[in-house]
Every structure is written in structure tokens, then in C-alpha cells.
A = this chain, B = another copy of it.
Amino acid sequence: MNKKAVVLLSGGADSSTTLACAVRNGFETYALTIDYGQRHRLELELAKKQAAGFSCTRHLILEVDLRAIGKSALTDDIDVPIGRSEEDMADEIPVTYVPARNTIFLSLALGWAESIGTGHIFIGVNAVDYSGYPDCRPEYIDSFEQTARLATKMGVEGNEIRIHTPLIDKTKAEIFRLGTELGVDFSLTLSCYGPADGKPCGKCDSCILRQKGFAEAGLEDPLEYFG
């Protein structure tokens, strides 16, 4: 029997590629999508399609209303920056930062993982491009993994606990190449922070990095942009 893994799946390009990596590595996958009140609700539907496409054993969409506890351009009516250079992006922690988001997501994944009897969790964090998020860095992931070992019955009993981050040291171009190799349908991933009529804006940080990534990878972006 395959080992089980919980895969955090937002429905974006990175988490979909991460799911593909878990499948390629032989894991039986349990996809976990957190419905945290994100502004682009469409991603939840896209996550369902990715989970179905990769034949996840289960896909759980869990509601946790982060709008109640946080303030971020991903959940509130704060404008997302558009048209910024990569240097500008690298300068600071972006307004799209959601306080403690990955810690919240990983702890929920940890709870589910322990319940289904596995210590394997996949998360699509990436510390290369767009690295302004503190909770996307390897030192953070290592620390969470250590905390998880102390936090849980399975950890205390000596079972393996591993936070897998297959994309952490990859550029966007490498991620699109890898995902394409592994069969990710990128026409179902949106990336955009503020899509209109289901189409990506082409101007926010996330769209800019996606377009650049596809270009560098020598691949065609299957999306049609709004702008």
C-alpha cells in the first residue's frame, strides 16, 4: 500500500505542481484546501478540478475565516499592487501577506495527517521568486517540522514527520517546467490576485511572475489575460 500524504492545495500553479510531485513520489494523496475567505473564490473550484485530475483519495475543503483574525490584501478590500518590478517585490513583505497563514495551514494539515495515520505533509512554498513571505523560508519549515514532532502523539511515539517542500528552491520557470512534465493542467491555475470575469489581470505581482516564468521556461501560458 502506498504511504499517505496530506497535500495543501490552494488550486494555484505552485500547489498543483506540489500535488503532482506527491503523486509522482508514490504517495496516496489527501488534498486539503482551506477556504479562508479568499477574495478569488474561483480558486476553490479549480482546486476541486486539480484534486479530481490527480485522483486524490479525498479532497477536504475546510472553512477557517481568516478575515476575522487578519488583515491582508488576499482577504480584505486592500488594493493589490500592480505593475511592480521584481526588485520592488523583493524589497519588502507584501501586502498580500496573511498573518501566520502557513503556520495555520500546516497545523490543520498536521491534525488531519495524524488522524489518517501519516506524518507526511506537502506544501508548495517557494523561497526563490517572490520571497517576501517569512513563512516560505526553509528555516521556518524546518522549525515547524521540529515543533510538529513535539506537538503530536505520532511525533512523541517516534513516527516520521516530514514537511515536504518540493518547490522551495525552484524558480517559477523551473516550477512550470516540472509541472508540465508531471501533467499539471496549467489552464486550470489562475495565479492572479484579482481576476475579473474569471480572467487573470496580467498586472499584479503574481501574474507578472507567472508570465515571466512561462517565458523563461520556453512554454506557452495557456491562460488568456484580461488586460
Contacts and interface: CB of A to CB of B under 8 A. Distances in A.
A83 to B, nearest CB: 23
A150 B144 CA distance: 9
A112 interface: yes
Interface string A87-128: 000000100011111111011101111110000000000000
A75 to B, nearest CB: 11
- Interface residue SS majority, chain A: helix
A150 B107 CA distance: 15
A134 B111 contact: no
A171 B103 CA distance: 31
Contacts of A140: 147, 150-151
A207 interface: no
B108 A153 contact: no
A28 interface: no
A9 to B, nearest CB: 14
Interface of A: 32, 60, 62-66, 68-71, 93, 97-104, 106-108, 110-115, 134-135, 137, 139-140, 143-144, 146-148, 150-153, 155-156
Given A101-B111, A143-B151, A147-B147, 16 more contacts: A60-B68, A62-B68, A63-B65, A66-B111, A70-B111, A71-B115, A97-B153, A99-B111, A100-B110, A100-B148, A100-B151, A100-B152, A104-B104, A134-B153, A140-B150, A143-B150
